[in-house]
């Protein structure tokens, strides 16, 4: 098939997802991307720009895949009748109805409702996790009840029938060329490799680190992750407190350098209050970092039951802040060891593009067949 892929948020994990799909798919994928920063422009001007750029693309497409940042309903209208008989797929990376907001920030309901119209415009809606799909359909009805009239509750039933789960792929085998370096660690190294955003709750992470430090435990930190958006003050405070015990701080754009950091750390910690698919955590696990993850959000969906609380190794999932402190304390004082790298890789391999692309391609072919 010829597949047009629309991505107006060509950054970070969205960019990696599109590039991984394009490189591994047996279909011909034509990316149409914009590196977007302004949410206002996303709402009102983006579809115009995409429609204009499509005028210069003469290929005929069998399928259109759009990320959830796309105002799909407006784009289809502006390009009518070009895609009138082309199946449309919306891939849901995020949910604007449930994303937690920092204090003082109001939800942009205009963008949220536009994203819902995009979902209604698609022939199939793919969610990046089961947790995301369930959260989406649990959250939206409360917003509809605020409508003074013409509440569109019945549209949810139709949308639910056209929705399913398809986890993203990850380029994990690319990490295989980097050797492990953690055997050279004089003290354990703890990794943060998620965005520095409010929803990842870095304040909780540093509360735990400070408790461990106050208790006299020796460790070093790698503070990676995308910091090109929010810059919480906790990171500056950590730099002052830990100084040369921080091996790295800041975003790493070079893959080789980033992978070396993942192969250096012993443990990776998530304190997320919101997570649909933890690609960075799975990358760290694949590289051999034992994870400490909330027993919540999407994590129980991804971690096999037998590994959540392994008998002979450190626990993986925690239920509260004190339990996370206890789990980390147990490995820092040597009472427990992290899971073997091979075990961690077995958890992650199912998401590697080399395996996962077959599921992706087959589902898109099925969606195309339904529309013909």
pLDDT at 146 over 70: yes
Q: What pLDDT was estimated at residue 41?
A: 55
Q: Which residue has the tokens 């996370």?
A: 324
The CATH number of 2-169+352-370, from 3.40.50.2000, 3.30.1360.170, 3.20.20.70, 3.30.70.1350, is: 3.40.50.2000
Chain-centre distance for alpha carbon 234: 22
**What Å distances lie between residue 174 and 4, 10, 184, 353, CA to CA?**
26, 21, 23, 10
Q: What pLDDT was estimated at residue 177?
A: 96
pLDDT band, very low/low/confident/very high, at 38 (cuts 50, 70, 90): low
pLDDT tens, position by position, 262-314 = 999 999 999 999 999 999 999 999 999 999 999 999 999 999 998 888 878 99
Q: What pLDDT was estimated at residue 231?
A: 77
pLDDT at 229 over 80: no
The domain spans of the chain are 2-169+352-370, 173-351
pLDDT at 42 over 60: no
Domains 2-169+352-370 and 173-351 share a fold: yes
Evaluate whether 9 touches 94 at the Cβ level (below 8 Å).
no
pLDDT at 45 over 70: no
Number of Cβ within 10 Å of residue 298's Cβ equals: 23
Q: What pLDDT was estimated at residue 118?
A: 94
Q: What is the mean pLDDT of the chain?
A: 93
The domain made up of 173-351 has a fold known as Rossmann fold (3.40.50)
pLDDT at 37 over 70: no
How buried is residue 59: exposed, middle or buried, by Cβ count under 10 Å (0-12/13-18/19+)?
Answer: exposed
């Amino acid at each position: 098939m010829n597949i047009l892929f629309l991505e107006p948020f060509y950054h970070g994990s969205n960019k990696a997802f599109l590039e991984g799909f394009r490189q591994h798919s047996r279909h011909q994928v034509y990316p149409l991307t914009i590196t977007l920063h302004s949410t206002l422009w996303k709402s009102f001007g983006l579809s115009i720009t995409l429609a204009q750029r499509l005028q210069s693309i003469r290929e005929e497409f069998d399928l259109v895949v759009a990320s959830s940042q796309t105002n799909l309903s407006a784009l289809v209208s502006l390009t009518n009748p070009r895609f009138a008989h082309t199946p449309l797929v919306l891939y849901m990376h995020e949910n604007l109805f449930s994303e937690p907001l920092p204090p003082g920030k109001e939800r942009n309901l205009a963008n949220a409702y536009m994203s819902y119209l995009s979902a209604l415009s698609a022939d199939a809606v793919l969610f990046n996790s089961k947790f995301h799909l369930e959260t989406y359909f649990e959250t939206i009805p409360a917003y509809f009840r605020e409508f003074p009239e013409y509440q569109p509750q019945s549209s949810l039933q139709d949308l639910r029938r056209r929705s399913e789960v398809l986890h993203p792929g990850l380029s994990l085998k690319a990490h295989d060329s980097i050797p492990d370096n953690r055997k050279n660690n004089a003290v354990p190294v703890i990794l943060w490799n998620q965005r520095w955003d409010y929803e990842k709750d870095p304040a909780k992470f540093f509360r735990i680190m400070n408790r461990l430090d106050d208790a006299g435990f020796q460790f070093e930190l790698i503070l990676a992750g995308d910091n090109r958006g929010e810059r919480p003050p906790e990171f500056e405070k950590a730099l002052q407190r830990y100084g040369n015990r921080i091996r790295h701080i800041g975003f790493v754009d070079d893959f080789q350098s980033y992978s070396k950091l993942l192969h250096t750390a012993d443990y990776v910690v998530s304190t997320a209050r919101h997570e649909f698919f933890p690609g960075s955590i799975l990358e760290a696990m694949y590289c051999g970092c034992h994870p400490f993850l909330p027993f919540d959000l999407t994590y129980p969906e991804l971690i096999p039951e037998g590994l959540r609380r392994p008998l002979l190794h450190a626990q993986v999932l925690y239920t509260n802040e004190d339990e996370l402190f206890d789990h980390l304390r147990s490995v820092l004082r040597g009472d427990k060891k992290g899971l073997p790298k091979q075990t961690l890789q077995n958890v992650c391999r199912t998401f590697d593009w080399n395996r996962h692309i077959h599921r992706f391609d087959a589902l898109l072919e099925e969606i195309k067949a339904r529309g013909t």
